[in-house]
Chain A
Amino acid sequence: MLLFLSSGLFLGWSLGANDAANVWGTAVGTRMVRFRTAAFICALFVIAGAVAGGSGGAETLGKLAAIPTIAGAFTVALAAALSVFLMTKAALPVSTSQAIVGALLGWTFFARKPVDFAVLGRIMGTWVFSPILTALLSILLYFGVRFVLARVRVHLIRMDALTRFLLIGAGAFGSYSLGANNIANVMGVFVPSQIFPNVNLGVVEITGVQLLFGLGGLSIALGVFTYSKQVMTTVGSEIYRLNPVTAFIVVLSSAIVLFLFASEGLQEAMRSVGLPTFPLVPVSSSQSIVGGVIGIGVAQGGHNIRYGVLGRIALGWLATPVIAALVAFVVLYVMQNVFALSVL
């Protein structure tokens, strides 16, 4: 069983190693928060987010392609992981969210099933919309924070202490949102296989899906503890140079966006008051963060924005699913015809 889950767990590990840095990179890179503190809070909240709020995104991915066999799910997750690995090696922009969708499409083509273009359109729409929404939110928060700081006189040193507190809060929220939004990328394909049974603990019942997501959350946490330190330092000091307050704004904006695309409770609440709802879709935390950084750049007058980054993101929207679909198709063919596994 664990062998079949290994591709998903590897995706989880990779997500923890890379995407946790999006949330905690600046705080750790600038030494505002110690790595150990960041890793502990991140692991805790990622698992909480995965278990408590991860089912929405998985359901949407399930609508795109519900893989009934565990071997098929293993192969699709493996194809996504391979695509991420290959594209990272080729220095191409890549996101796990887009890779898993591409791999699912590859399975759909391989299984000669019809593609649900309505669901696919909704998923791809969120990829475009999420960085834009993060940018708009970070602009809004930037002016809000600036308005408050201009009126509330806080000593520089005390502001530093306050910012650390805020960075930890935003990091915890960001980690929860990351777990809730991105667990579908890691374990979503295994949901239809119903690997774990429901467990009744007397007071509370844990569903098999929650157990699956909890395991995925653990693999993300493992990635955070084992490999994210270096990535965090790189993100914090090299990719974008933000001061701690603007870093807080970017992390909070991104966390809100990831939460919006993951929270079933919020979706239900918005529906109940007649507001348009956000589709529950795994989005790329990296692209969301880049959107937030660009938002800060726009708010500060639009200087020094590297517009080339936008082109690379747009390239990723198209290239990642196509490459992942091709890889999935090939790997599924090999699994079925060489290893005689039932992948359909």
Chain B
Amino acid sequence: MYSIFRKARGIEANIEKFLKNIETAVDLFELGLKEYFSGKMDRFEERCSAIRELESDSDSLRFDIKFTLYSDLLIPDSRGDVLGLIETLDNVIDIAEKVYLQFSIEQPIIYDWLVEDFRALTEVSVKTVHMLIPSIRAFFNEPRAVADRVGQVHFWEHEADDAELRIKRKVFASEEIEQFSRKMHLRYFAEKISSVADMAEAVAERLEVYAIKREL
């Protein structure tokens, strides 16, 4: 019996570490992109490897959690939900890493008059993820509180959509950007940054259902 409690503590610790990794990764994502928008390319590139390390560490944690839940037959009733949650949550960090890498490879030109908008979009996208993490913790500890917290995720995802739309309108209305391909490029990157918030919302939607199932 003692070993079950010991294993439970181990998985709890891994889940918490996994959540902290995501928080740290999106914080680095925000800081790095802001540095990119300010033209501090060295600092931007330095953060790239840190995000990749976190992503790789999260993959290992995800595997450990999955393996222990299955091999020790833990939480038979909610195992599928928890694993589904961890898998989709891992997509958030994957997307953040990919978007970051695309900035590093494609290096889109962010015009000065667009920097504030891109900064705002990055902030609200990351804020959506920051709202998601307490919802996940609530799912594990206090399922009744999930609905309220998930409301915040929806709110910030909507803000991210608005910020993305503002950038797109500005870009396509601009006469300064002559090449259509460049406009498409900026639209693409606005959508990519916003996709981090979209993924967070997708996790939140799953979470709402899982939380209802968890209530006695």
A-side residues, CB < 8 A to B, are: 30-32, 142, 145-146, 149-150, 153-158, 160-161, 164-165, 168, 243-246
Establish whether residues A161 and B77, one from each chain, have CB atoms under 8 Å apart when the complex forms: no
CB-based contact A154/B141 at 8 Å? yes
- Cβ A146 vs Cβ B216 within 8 A: yes
- Complex contact B76–A30 (CB within 8 A): yes
Q: Which residues of B contact A149 (CB under 8 A)?
A: 216
A157 & B75 in contact (Cβ 8 Å cutoff): yes
Bound Cα distance from A149 to B1, whole angstroms: 21
B214, CB-defined interface residue at 8 Å: yes
Chain A nearest CB from B138 CB (Å) reads 9
- Nearest CB on A from B90, distance (A): 18
How far is A165 from B78 in the complex, measured between Cα atoms in Å? 18
Q: How far is the CA of A272 from the CA of B73 in the complex (A)?
A: 48
> Which residues of the other chain, A, contact B4 by a CB distance below 8 angstroms?
161, 164-165
Nearest Cβ distance between residue A312 and chain B, in whole angstroms?
28
A245 to B78, CA, bound (A): 12
Interface of chain A: mostly helix, strand, loop or mixed: helix
Inter-chain contacts of B216 with A (CB < 8 A): 142, 145-146, 149, 243, 245-246
Contact assessment for B1 and A156 in the assembled complex, using a CB-CB cutoff below 8 Å? no
Closest to B69 in A: A157
Contact residues in A for B1 (Cβ distance below 8 Å): 164-165, 168
Could you list 14 further interchain pairs (A-B, Cβ under 8 angstroms) beyond the known A155-B8, A160-B8, A160-B74?
A31-B73, A32-B76, A142-B216, A150-B144, A153-B142, A154-B141, A156-B75, A156-B140, A157-B8, A157-B12, A157-B74, A164-B1, A243-B216, A245-B216
CB-CB under 8 A from A245, the residues of chain B are: 216
Q: Mark B204-216, 1 if CB is under 8 A from A, else 0.
A: 0000000000101
Cβ of B140 and Cβ of A155 under 8 Å apart? yes
Within 8 A of A (CB), among B19-74: 73-74
Name the B residues within 8 Å of A30 (CB-CB): 76-77
- Across-interface contacts of B76 in A (CB, < 8 A): 30-32, 244
Q: Which of B11, B73, B144, B214 contacts A157 (CB 8 A)?
A: B11
How far is it, in angstroms, between the C-alpha of A244 and the C-alpha of B8 when the chains are bound? 16
Which residues on the B side are within 8 Å of A244 (C-beta)? 76-77
Residue from B74, B144, B214 with most neighbouring chain A CB atoms (10 Å):
B74
* Cross-chain contact A156 with B73 (CB below 8 angstroms): no
A158 and B73 within 8 A (CB): no
Pairwise interchain contact B141-A161, C-beta atoms closer than 8 A: no
Q: How far is the CA of A30 from the CA of B82 in the complex (A)?
A: 17
How far does the Cβ of A33 sit from chain B's closest Cβ, in whole Å? 10
* Pairwise interchain contact A155-B12, C-beta atoms closer than 8 A: yes
Residues in B with CB closer than 8 Å to A246 are 216
B9 at the interface (CB under 8 A from A): yes
B89 to chain A, nearest CB (A): 15
Q: Say what secondary structure dominates the interface of chain B.
A: helix
Residue B5 CB within 8 A of the other chain: yes
CB neighbours (8 Å) of B78 from chain A are 156, 160
Asked if B214 and A158 make an inter-chain contact with CB atoms under 8 angstroms apart, the answer reads no
What's the Cα separation between A155 and B13 when bound, in Å?
11
Complex CA gap A174/B139 in Å reads: 32
Asked if B140 and A157 make an inter-chain contact with CB atoms under 8 angstroms apart, the answer reads yes
Q: For the complex, what is the distance from the CA of A142 to the CA of B4, rounded to whole Å?
A: 25
Which residue in chain A gives the minimum CB-CB distance to B16? Answer: A155
A183 vs B48: C-alpha distance when bound (angstroms): 71
Contact indicator per residue, chain B 114-141, by CB within 8 Å of chain A (1) or not (0): 0000000000000000000000000111
How long is the Cα–Cα vector from A246 to B11 in the complex, in angstroms? 24
Bound state CA distance, A30 and B76, in angstroms? 6
List, in ascending order, chain A residues with CB within 8 A of B74's CB.
157, 160-161
Q: Give A164 to B4 CA distance when docked, in angstroms.
A: 9
Q: What would 16 A/B residue contacts be, using CB atoms closer than 8 Å?
A: A31-B73, A31-B76, A149-B216, A156-B75, A156-B139, A156-B214, A157-B11, A157-B15, A157-B74, A160-B74, A160-B75, A165-B1, A168-B1, A243-B216, A245-B216, A246-B216
Which 9 residue pairs are nearest across A and B when measured between Cβ atoms? A161-B8, A161-B4, A160-B75, A153-B141, A157-B8, A156-B140, A30-B76, A146-B216, A243-B77
Look across to chain B and name the residue whose beta carbon is closest to the beta carbon of A246: B216
CA gap between A236 and B41 in the complex, in Å: 60
- Nearest B residue to A146 via CB reads B216
- In the complex, what distance in Å separates the CA atom of A242 from the CA atom of B141? 21
Complex CA–CA separation, A160 to B142 (angstroms): 14
Q: Give the residue name and chain of the B residue nearest to A245 (CB).
A: B216
Q: Within the assembled complex, what's the spacing in Å between the Cα atoms of A142 and B139?
A: 20
CA distance A245 to B74 in the complex (A): 14
Q: Give complex CA distance A149, B76 in Å.
A: 19
Q: Specify which chain A residues have a CB less than 8 angstroms from the CB of B144 in the assembled complex.
A: 150
A243 to B7, CA, bound (A): 21
CB distance from B148 to the nearest CB of A (A): 14
CA of A150 to CA of B141 in the docked complex: distance in angstroms?
10
Of chain A, the residue at the smallest CB distance from B65 is A157
Find out whether the CB atom of A158 lies under 8 angstroms from the CB atom of B12: yes
A158 contacts across to B, CB distance below 8 A: 5, 8-9, 12
Q: Nearest residue in A to B7 (C-beta to C-beta)?
A: A161
